[in-house]
Amino acid sequence: MSIAVLDPLFIPLPDGRRLAATLWRPAEGKAPVVLEALPYRRRDGTIFRDAEMAPWYAEQGLAYCRLDLAGSGESDGVLLDEYLPAEQQDLSDVIAWLAAQDWCSGRVGMTGISWGGFNSLQVAARRPPALKAIIALCCSDDRFADDVHYMGGAYLTEDPLWSSFILALNALPPDPQQRADWQALWQQRLAANRCWSATWLRHQARDAYWRQGSVCEDWERIRIPVYAVGGWDDSYSNAVPRLLRHLRGPKKGLIGPWSHSHPCRGAPGPLIGWLQEALRWWRHWLLDEPTGIMEGPALTAWITEPERPAPAYAEHPGRWVADAGWPRAETPLTFFLNAGGLGAAPLPGGEMTLRSPASAGMECGRWGGYGGSCPDMPGDQRREDALGLAFDTAALEADLDLLGAPLLTLTLACDAPRANLTARLCAVDADGTSNLLTWGTLNLAHRQGSAAPSDLVPGERVTVALALNDFGRRVAAGQRLRLVLATQHWPILWPQPWLATVTLAAGEGRLILPLRRPRAEDAALPPFAPVVVAPPVACLAEREGRHERILETDVGSGRRSVTLHSDYGRTRLTGSGLVTESWCRDSFSILPEDPLSARLDSEWFIASESAGVAADATARVTLQGDAEALRLGWRVVARLDGREVSIREGGEVIPRQHL
């Protein structure tokens, strides 16, 4: 089928602003349209993945609209924060405009990965009449509990890393090839640019700021069909089970072995023919074609087979399993935390104490793994296991399949008013290699919920529940299961101000594992189609990318550090002449006996060149703290043809509130 490409397409909004888009559509006739709306610059940012997917959909009879959000790319306005109500209203207006075009059938779908998955869910909850179905990939229904900012009420260092990236991205100009007024619009954005972490750190509990845009606040708002997709190596897989459990309309879920990428791109594999799968969804809901997409299982999930830990994976061994929903009731596998390890029955008697060094967690990987050649994955956990309180089972007599979220309940006392408690579940090989399966954390001030955290009373016994992340793994006969508790998880979590000691009573803790037994429908699962994508965008790599993760110890001071360096290279798009370049360097350091020595430094460089105009931006974000407050510093420099045109910087002292 021949297609037409409109770039730029400026979509008018009711208030007179225009949002920039690229539209791929069948050259003749009417077609439904799928909308994807992101802030990541469609011209020189997501063009590489857009070119592999959007034209393919158009060739199959669907229109595809890739929109720059207001304040990004070539769209009017400035971008002030993520997931604002104004963004959701803009997208509702865009959907109405698309549906009214003479080339459109009047039906609209919405999709996206990460930010685009979030806003697909958020707009679905607003119920614009023309929006008929969505596909949400690698995102969350809960902005406070399960995004880049907080986890279990503890502060994720991914938050300032992410704001460093968006600080640099927001300092780049629109493409001069598409906006004659690019300089004026650029100046507006430079004047408004700031570090978003300052806002996020002021909201350390689940308040109205986080409830806005969290669709889990009112599941009934979403009535249209939802296909929720995630990957076990991504940080957003927990949303898929919740969406399947709570949505009342038509729904499907898919969780594969992937990281933060589409199931037909990136790593680790095995990849699948995701475009064909998505097309079946769109044809069913936008064209009323009987594709059979809703006749299969509600959930298809990957069970990873035992493998050796590695910093990056090209592919995971495993198999697909099917289920009619999430979860299906089964007999849970329960273990008790006894003084001698994990046992089938409680053995009371005695106390166990836990006090981890501030540097514990350095070999546990990264919260936001991005797959491919990025060495983000956790390594052998033996050294980390020794820094916590470990409980082992006996060697397993048979293979176990685990699919879901483990639940840990503990009765404990703490000698400090606050502490972060982290639980890791590992599979231990016969040679002692410890493989991280899943983990979770709880800021103990949030033990009764995150809406109104409260400090512990030192020495007072409390009972807490800690849910680990959903996962799908097979543990082999001969391996042992190991639960490890720690009071630090650096540098994934920002530490509490002191090294707390936690005391547990033997036999009073309980670990419930999501056992899954083999089912007949697993063998009946049809294979996914092979990967197909459209031809990649024509480009020339002027500098190849590379990735490093370096762990160091200064034997003099004892300071331990982690440095992440990702160079994404320099690429020239031969069709448009655009050039894009970026790199980042993140570093974390801490003294094992002093959590107040923690320091984070994040630096992003992003450059864009078009029509002879070369612009770049360098953003730096730092985070330190004392017992009372966190100190956030930031600076962003924008340059045009090598000359500085804007320098913005700021510093924030933000009181710690149970953090």
**What pLDDT sits at residue 524?**
81
- For the stretch 299-311, pLDDT in tens is 999 999 999 999 9
User: Are the C-beta atoms of 340 and 332 separated by less than 8 Å?
Assistant: no
**What pLDDT sits at residue 523?**
81
Q: Is the pLDDT of residue 618 over 70?
A: yes
- For the stretch 62-71, pLDDT in tens is 999 999 999 9
- For the stretch 212-240, pLDDT in tens is 999 999 999 999 999 999 999 999 989 99
How far apart CA 444 and CA 419 sit, in angstroms, is: 6
Number of Cβ within a 10 Å radius of residue 619: 27
- For the stretch 309-354, pLDDT in tens is 999 999 999 999 998 887 665 678 999 999 999 999 999 988 999 9
Q: 523 or 433: which carries more pLDDT confidence?
A: 433
How far apart CA 442 and CA 130 sit, in angstroms, is: 41
User: Are the C-beta atoms of 147 and 622 separated by less than 8 Å?
Assistant: no
**What pLDDT sits at residue 329?**
56
Segment among 356-360, 365-369, 448-452 with least mean pLDDT = 365-369
Q: Is the pLDDT of residue 97 over 70?
A: yes
**What pLDDT sits at residue 327?**
63
Cross-strand pairs, 37: 67
Classify domain 3-153+204-295 at the CATH topology level. Answer: Rossmann fold (3.40.50)
List every span in the chain annotated with CATH 2.60.120.260. Answer: 333-520
Q: How many CA atoms lie within 13 A of 610 on its CB side?
A: 21
pLDDT band, very low/low/confident/very high, at 583 (cuts 50, 70, 90): very high
How far apart CA 608 and CA 18 sit, in angstroms, is: 22
Q: 312 CB contacts (<8 Å, ≥6 apart)?
A: 267, 268, 371, 372, 373, 374, 375, 376, 377
Consecutive H or E run containing 573: strand 560-573
Counting residues of the chain whose pLDDT is more than 90, the rounded percentage is 95
Number of Cβ within a 10 Å radius of residue 197: 26
User: Are the C-beta atoms of 525 and 300 separated by less than 8 Å?
Assistant: yes
Q: In the predicted model, what is the mean pLDDT of residues 455-459?
A: 97
Q: Specify the residue for token string 């982290």.
A: 422
List every span in the chain annotated with CATH 3.40.50.1820. Answer: 3-153+204-295
**What pLDDT sits at residue 326?**
74
Residue 384 Cα distances to 39, 186, 265, 408, 435, angstroms: 38, 47, 32, 19, 11
- For the stretch 368-383, pLDDT in tens is 777 778 899 999 999 9
User: Are the C-beta atoms of 225 and 136 separated by less than 8 Å?
Assistant: no
**What pLDDT sits at residue 370?**
75
Q: Specify the residue for token string 């069948």.
A: 26
**CATH architecture of the domain formed by 333-520:** Sandwich (2.60)
pTM: 0.97
User: Are the C-beta atoms of 504 and 437 separated by less than 8 Å?
Assistant: no
How far apart CA 210 and CA 251 sit, in angstroms, is: 25
**What pLDDT sits at residue 267?**
86
**What pLDDT sits at residue 560?**
98
